[in-house]
C-alpha cells in the first residue's frame, strides 16, 4: 500500500508533466528559413499522434527517474516528506518538463493551429515557472496543479495522452 501512495504521488507529477509537454510553438527558432518549416509541417492528426508519443515516453521516463532519484537520495518511498516530494519536483519533474517541451516544440505546430499551440506552450511555461518557484503547488493537497490551464487547452486541442489527468 505504501508503494502505491508513492506511485500515486509520482503519477500526479507525471500528469502535470504530460500536460506540460503537449504544446508547441511555431518553428521560428530554426536556423533554416520559414519555408522549410512550412514544407515539413505536420497535419493536426499527425501532430497529435507525435505529441502524444512524446508525452507517453516522458511519462514513463519521469516515473523511472523519480524511482531512481528516490533510491539514490534515500527518499522514504513509504512515507516521503513534503521536502522530499518537493525535491523530486525540482530535481526530476521540472527538468523533464523542460526537455519534453523542447521535444514537442521541435515537432512544429500544424498549419493554421499556431495560435492554439502557442496558448498551450504559454500555459505550460507558466505552470513550469510556478512549479519551480513553489514545488509544493504540484503536491496533492498543497494547492492547485500549476498545469490546469495547459491540461484544459491540450484536451480541447484533441491530445489524447498529453493533458489528460
Q: What is the pLDDT along the chain (165 residues), one digit of tens a residue?
A: 234 434 444 444 444 443 444 433 333 333 333 444 445 789 999 999 999 998 899 889 888 999 999 999 888 888 889 899 888 888 888 778 777 777 887 889 999 998 988 888 777 777 777 888 888 888 866 656 788 888 898 899 999 888 776
State the DSSP code for 137. Answer: G
Please say whether the beta carbons of 112 and 42 come within 8 A.
no
Contacts of 14 (CB under 8 A, 6+ apart): 59, 62, 63
pTM exceeding the 0.85 threshold for the entire prediction: no
Q: What angle do CA 69, 125, 123 make, to 5 degrees?
A: 120
Q: How far is CA 25 from CA 34, 37, 54, 61, 101, in A?
A: 13, 12, 15, 23, 10
- What are the extents of the domains in the chain? 2-18+32-157
Q: How far is CA 26 from CA 4, 32, 104, 109, 146, in A?
A: 40, 13, 11, 5, 23
Task: Write out pLDDT tens, residues 111-123.
Answer: 999 898 888 877 7
Distance between alpha carbon 99 and the CA centroid of its chain, in Å?
A: 9
C-alpha cell recorded at residue 74 = 534515500
Task: Write out pLDDT tens, residues 42-71.
Answer: 999 999 999 999 889 988 988 899 999 999
Amino acid at each position: 500500500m505504501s508503494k502505491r501512495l508513492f506511485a500515486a504521488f509520482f503519477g500526479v507529477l507525471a500528469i502535470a508533466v504530460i500536460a506540460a509537454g503537449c504544446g508547441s510553438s511555431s518553428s521560428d527558432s530554426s536556423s533554416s528559413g520559414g519555408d522549410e518549416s512550412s514544407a515539413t509541417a505536420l497535419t493536426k492528426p499527425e501532430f497529435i499522434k507525435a505529441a502524444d508519443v512524446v508525452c507517453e515516453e516522458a511519462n514513463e521516463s519521469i516515473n523511472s527517474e523519480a524511482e531512481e532519484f528516490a533510491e539514490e537520495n534515500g527518499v522514504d518511498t513509504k512515507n516521503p516528506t513534503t521536502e522530499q516530494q518537493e525535491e523530486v519536483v525540482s530535481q526530476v519533474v521540472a527538468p523533464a518538463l523542460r526537455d519534453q517541451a523542447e521535444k514537442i516544440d521541435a515537432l512544429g505546430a500544424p498549419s493554421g493551429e499556431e495560435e492554439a499551440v502557442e496558448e498551450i506552450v504559454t500555459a505550460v511555461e507558466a505552470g513550469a515557472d510556478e512549479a519551480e518557484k513553489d514545488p509544493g503547488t504540484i503536491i496533492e493537497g498543497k494547492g492547485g496543479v500549476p498545469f490546469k490551464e495547459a491540461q484544459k487547452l491540450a484536451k480541447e486541442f484533441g491530445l489524447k495522452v498529453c493533458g489528460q489527468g
